[in-house]
């Protein structure tokens, strides 16, 4: 058996939030193991453009000198956020409480991502926010670039129809500036990195079931130091590779094990994956649990994946589709509509690519995918569709295919996982 030990990049979701909250807190925050991928760089540049002193050092370290809740300065030009949907959807919550107008722009892909989900609740709080360009879309949604003018906010009680950590974070951050208690309820609990990090900055929200509440206005105080664990969404590609490659044992070190993020492990275990988790205490960020994940070659079996499970592993769905192709029997995935509004339509990108390499995969309606697994996959030329998770999923599929799977457009991987291809070669 071939044994490989790897370290995966820091968590992208936690990295975004660490920079954002450190910027509007009082005091200096030293962030260790920050993800230096394209999306995080856009967040850093946005806050630098608003007067925050952020210094990036060696070995993924970063020092942020916070300016306080209302210390941001009006940017001299529109804030370009590249392809970062997280920044585009969370940053307006902070800008809502500032005393200036700002414009948020992005690349072509980001400009096609729906923003009505954050705009509606922010308008209820009294924020002047909207799209710069009018759009005539059948779904009647709103798309970037966005213009936002901050000001005095009022607290709201908001009930969301979707489970979205980005939406929840946007509302909670705006609630820090509002008078009174702001709350958001979700149909299913989404990832809770913002709630955990707010606690580190001295503002622990109140949580009742799927409802989260903050009382404003407040001031955030720097915890002094934050250490970001490895990203389980990045680890998912190597967990799956360890399952589908014969004679393989992979140890993935220091991975974040936040309970709202381990859905991919739970699903793969139901598929009879041989996965063990070795938890350990964190020294610098006790609110985010972490540990090592050990995975060995497995005989996967098809399962039914519910909408709630999809919510808990939404970013991992592309690689779970790959795992299902190698599993014996049928896998049904229900409630996958949210995959259509990611960096690309991930249902279209994954179904198109997997069919090209011989997978039996069908979209039975807009919300359900059926995969009859266990068929040999073959080499073919496929596309990333400009999406990092599609690209990495197809590279993993190619590890155990009969013939070479050539994936075009791999630059998008830099968005979240610089060095992915080099690390993948360790498995050969």
Both tokens of 27, joined, read 């005091």
Average pLDDT score over the chain: 93
Q: What is the pTM of this model?
A: 0.91
pLDDT digits over 87-110, tens only?
999 999 999 999 999 999 999 989
Q: What is the pLDDT of residue 138?
A: 41
Q: What is the pLDDT of residue 134?
A: 61
Give the span between the Cα atoms of 375 and 206, in whole angstroms.
49
Give the span between the Cα atoms of 38 and 22, in whole angstroms.
19
pLDDT digits over 368-394, tens only?
999 999 999 999 999 999 999 999 999
Q: What is the pLDDT of residue 284?
A: 44
Going 331 to 337 to 342 to 346, the CA torsion angle's sign is: positive
Distance of CA 248 to the CA centre of its chain: 28
Q: What is the pLDDT of residue 366?
A: 73
All domains in the chain, ordered by first residue: 11-227 (3.65.10.10), 232-427 (3.65.10.10)
Annotated active-site positions, please? Answer: 315
Identify the CA nearest to 331 among candidates 315, 312, 353, 309: 309
Residues of the chain with pLDDT under 70: 134-139, 281-286
Please tell me whether residue 148 adopts helix, strand or coil conformation: strand
Q: What is the pLDDT of residue 285?
A: 53
């Amino acid at each position: 058996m071939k044994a490989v030990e790897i370290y995966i990049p820091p968590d992208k979701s936690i990295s975004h939030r660490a920079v954002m909250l450190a910027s509007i807190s009082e005091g200096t925050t030293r962030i260790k193991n920050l993800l230096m991928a394209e999306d995080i760089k856009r967040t850093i540049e946005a806050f630098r453009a608003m007067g925050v002193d952020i210094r990036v050092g060696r070995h993924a370290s970063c020092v942020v000198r916070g300016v306080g809740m209302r210390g941001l300065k009006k940017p001299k030009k529109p804030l370009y956020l590249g392809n970062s949907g997280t920044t585009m959807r969370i940053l307006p919550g902070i800008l809502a409480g500032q005393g200036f107008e700002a414009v948020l722009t992005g690349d072509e892909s980001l400009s096609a991502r729906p923003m009505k989900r954050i705009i509606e609740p922010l308008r209820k709080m009294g924020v002047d926010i909207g799209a710069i360009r009018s759009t005539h879309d059948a779904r009647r949604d709103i798309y970037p670039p966005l213009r936002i003018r901050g000001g005095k906010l009022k607290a709201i009680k908001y009930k969301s129809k979707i489970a979205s950590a980005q939406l929840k974070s946007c509302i909670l951050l705006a609630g820090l500036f509002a008078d009174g208690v702001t709350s958001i309820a979700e149909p299913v609990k989404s990832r809770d990195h913002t709630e955990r990090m707010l606690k580190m900055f001295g503002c622990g929200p109140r949580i009742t079931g799927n409802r989260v509440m903050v009382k404003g206005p407040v001031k955030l105080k720097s915890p002094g130091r934050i250490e970001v664990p490895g990203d389980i969404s990045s680890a998912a590609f190597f967990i799956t590779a360890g399952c589908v490659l014969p004679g393989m044992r992979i140890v993935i070190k220091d991975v974040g094990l936040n309970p709202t993020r381990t859905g991919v492990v739970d699903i793969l275990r139901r598929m009879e994956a041989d996965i063990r988790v070795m938890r350990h205490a964190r020294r610098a960020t006790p609110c985010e649990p972490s540990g090592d994940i050990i995975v060995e070659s497995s005989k996967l079996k098809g399962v039914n994946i519910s909408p709630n499970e999809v919510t808990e592993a939404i970013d991992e769905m592309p690689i779970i589709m790959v795992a299902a192709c190698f599993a014996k029997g049928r896998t049904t995935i229900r409630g996958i509509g949210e995959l259509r509004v990611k960096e690309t339509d991930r249902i279209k990108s994954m179904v198109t690519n997997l069919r090209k390499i011989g997978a039996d995969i069908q979209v039975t309606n807009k919300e359900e995918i059926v995969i009859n697994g266990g068929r040999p996959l073959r080499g073919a030329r496929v596309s990333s569709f400009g999406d990092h998770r599609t690209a990495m999923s197809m590279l993993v599929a190619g590890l155990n295919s009969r013939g070479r799977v050539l994936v075009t457009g791999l630059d998008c991987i830099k968005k979240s996982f610089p060095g992915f291809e080099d690390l993948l070669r360790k498995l050969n």
